[in-house]
Structure 1
Amino acid sequence: MDITNLIAREGWSQDLVRELERNRDNGRVGTKLVSETDDVRVWHLDVPPGERFGFHCHVLNYFWTSLTHGKARSRYADGRVVEVSYQPGDTKHLNFAAGEISWHDLENIGQTPLQFVTVEFKDSGNAALPI
């Protein structure tokens, strides 16, 4: 996939395109790794209002749970821009087959802090990225 051309068509700034390119192997999917075993990584993700958690790459099966209500915008490597409203307890499970990945950022466009817990499962179709 030629990310630069795809994103250019979608009107992304060159700064965002460069950040995405730099973070193709960024396995830090949260602001703080709170636990890691042979089986899982548990992350906290805190994004204050008006702030943004930069591009990162998901390769492991995982789920996230929202701890707070709020609104966010995510930009994905395929050019999609998605806005989502969250409520406490909202949870989503995602799975990746061998070779599948997802790059995105998370921008808090609401008035309240966004807080999530993310659990990655190391027994997935892909090897864990270094962090």
Structure 2
Amino acid sequence: MTPHTPAQDFSGPHWTPELLTELEQGRSNGRVGSRIVSESDRVRVWLIELQPGERLPFHTHVQDYFWTATTPGRARSRYADGRVAEVTYDLGDTRHFSFGKGESMTHDLENIGDSVLCFTTVEFFGSANPPLL
């Protein structure tokens, strides 16, 4: 996992002392969704369902995975490098991620829209890193 570097900027309205503490705890949190709906020796499938204003706490991805938006909506994510991104999702938007040995991504997910925001996330076992959960 990547340690903080001096170039990281955690100032601004989207970072609070509480969020920074949660970020540090999230570096070992492998709960990348709201709930697990299926698991085999090859994959783990998560559902994410966020009401308006609700957040999925900081968590860390270490397994290769993809997500698909199953509802349209808007979200904000804060990342371990200090970035904050706001994204509009369309139904069916999908993104794939791959991690080499020792690589990871830590972030949160906050529904900043006015409707329920849902994703399906599929993690692939056998990736370069052991799962956190």
- How does the TM-score come out when normalised to structure 1? 0.93
Question: Aligned-pair distance for 1:123?
Answer: 1.2
Aligned sequence identity (%)? 54
Give the 3-state SS of the residue equivalent to 2:20 in structure 1.
helix
Cα distance in 2, alignment partners of residues 6 and 18 from structure 1: 15
Cα distance in 1, alignment partners of residues 59 and 84 from structure 2: 15
Contact 1:3-1:77 at 8 Å conserved across structures: no
Residues 21 and 7 of structure 1: CA distance in aligned 2, closer, same or farther (over 3 Å):
farther
Question: Aligned-pair distance for 1:2?
Answer: 2.1
Q: What does residue range 106-117 of structure 1 map to in structure 2 within 5 Å?
A: 106-117=109-120
- How does the TM-score come out when normalised to structure 2? 0.92
Question: Aligned-pair distance for 1:6?
Answer: 3.1
**RMSD of the alignment, in Å?**
1.5
Cα distance in 2, alignment partners of residues 44 and 4 from structure 1: 35
In terms of fraction of residues, the more helix-rich structure is: 1
Gaps of 5+ in 1: none
- Residue type of the partner of 1:60? Q
Give the 3-state SS of the residue equivalent to 1:6 in structure 2.
coil
Residue 125 (1) aligns with residue 128 (2)? yes
Match of 2:70 in 1: 67
- Residue type of the partner of 1:2? H
Question: Aligned-pair distance for 1:24?
Answer: 1.1
Residues 62 and 123 of structure 1: CA distance in aligned 2, closer, same or farther (over 3 Å):
same
- Residue type of the partner of 2:109? L
Match of 1:101 in 2: 104
Deviations 1:26-45 (A, max 9, x none): 10111010011111000000
Cα distance in 2, alignment partners of residues 6 and 107 from structure 1: 21
